[in-house]
């Protein structure tokens, strides 16, 4: 039974002794997760394809207080390559006795195909132009690499002290939960697969003591959604950008770094949560529904 003082937020959400890895940690939601973890005491390794992006993220966003954690670039690593993942695993095993968290945040948006016509021939023409290679690339990054990015680190995760409640957080998307294609059939289908993959991993990996949860973001600013990042590896999504989506966005704005941080820290720390797909969507799914 906890005392009142033990329930202070500084005790509940301290990430002291946590050692984390974030794939896609140099930009977007991966960087938001990295900042949240490091600012609360975790040692956070970030990886991705572009070394200069990783280095800039660490240089720009490392915590300034001596009482907080670290952001450490590692790699680079292409998570679609098992060889790269094996090298990354070996490097981490040489540096750390355990990982307490893996955040799989790497992702791509995939091709677009517009079904916004009632003419079947026109719809076919609009959608048939999509390339099989683009669909395969989308699934390779958004689904297959997520699976192997967690599987390769299972022994390090299992080695974490029990008090750290070792886990993985899979970044899926609200787009994988809705029936609206948003002209992104391949992306939305891949993110549906990602969310269900997280559920399956949560069931099977519980045998090892490793939890798996997923965050399904709505509209958050990132290099992927805004097609660019600034000198701090950050992107901005103005409120008007979310008002022309073909459906209501009850929050009437994009999600913030702070809100993503709250979701990441909650799933990292609450050991009583396993197999959850947490929607951080500004209420969109209340409007569009899903299957």
Catalytic residue among 100, 139, 191, 279: 191
Residue 201: closest CA among 258, 193, 232? 193
Active site residue 187: yes
Reduce the DSSP state of residue 170 to 3 states and report it: strand
> How crowded is residue 66: how many other Cβ atoms within 10 Å of its Cβ?
5
Residues paired with 72 in a beta bridge: 45
Q: How far is CA 104 from the centre of its chain?
A: 5
Catalytic residue among 172, 175, 202, 229: 172
Give, as one character, the DSSP assignment of residue 277: E
> How crowded is residue 27: how many other Cβ atoms within 10 Å of its Cβ?
26
Query: How far apart are alpha carbons 240 and 254 in whole angstroms?
Result: 9
Query: How far apart are alpha carbons 139 and 209 in whole angstroms?
Result: 28
8 A C-beta contact, residue 237 and residue 186: no
Catalytic residue among 187, 202, 219, 279: 187
Pairing of strands 211-217, 70-73: unpaired
Active site residue 191: yes
> How crowded is residue 179: how many other Cβ atoms within 10 Å of its Cβ?
9
Residue 146: closest CA among 194, 78, 114? 194
Query: How far apart are alpha carbons 170 and 195 in whole angstroms?
Result: 8
Positions marked active-site? 172, 187, 191
């Amino acid at each position: 039974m906890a005392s009142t003082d033990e329930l202070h937020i500084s005790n509940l959400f301290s990430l002291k002794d946590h050692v984390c890895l974030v794939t896609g940690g140099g930009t977007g939601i991966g960087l938001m997760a990295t900042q949240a973890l490091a600012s609360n005491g975790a040692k956070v390794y970030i990886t991705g394809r572009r070394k200069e992006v990783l280095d800039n993220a660490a240089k720009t966003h490392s915590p300034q207080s001596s009482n907080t954690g670290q952001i450490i670039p590692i790699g680079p690593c292409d998570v679609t390559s098992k060889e790269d993942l094996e090298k990354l695993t070996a490097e981490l095993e040489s540096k750390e006795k355990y990982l307490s968290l893996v955040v799989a945040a790497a992702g791509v948006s995939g091709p677009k195909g517009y079904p916004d016509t009632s003419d079947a021939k026109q719809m076919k023409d609009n959608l048939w132009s999509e390339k099989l290679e683009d669909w395969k690339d989308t699934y390779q990054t958004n689904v297959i690499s997520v699976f192997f990015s967690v599987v390769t680190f299972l022994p390090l995760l299992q080695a974490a002290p029990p008090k750290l409640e070792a886990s993985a957080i899979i970044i899926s998307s609200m787009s994988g939960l809705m029936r609206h294609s948003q002209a992104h059939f391949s992306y939305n289908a891949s993110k549906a697969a990602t969310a269900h993959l997280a559920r399956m991993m949560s069931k099977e990996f519980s045998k090892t003591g490793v939890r798996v949860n997923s965050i399904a973001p709505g509209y958050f600013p990132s290099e992927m959604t805004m097609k660019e990042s600034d000198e701090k590896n950050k992107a901005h999504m103005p409120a008007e950008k979310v008002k022309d989506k073909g459906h209501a966005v009850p929050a009437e704005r994009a999600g913030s770094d702070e809100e993503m941080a709250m979701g990441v820290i909650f799933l990292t720390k609450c050991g009583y949560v396993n197999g959850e797909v947490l929607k951080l969507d500004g209420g969109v799914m209340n409007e569009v529904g899903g299957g």
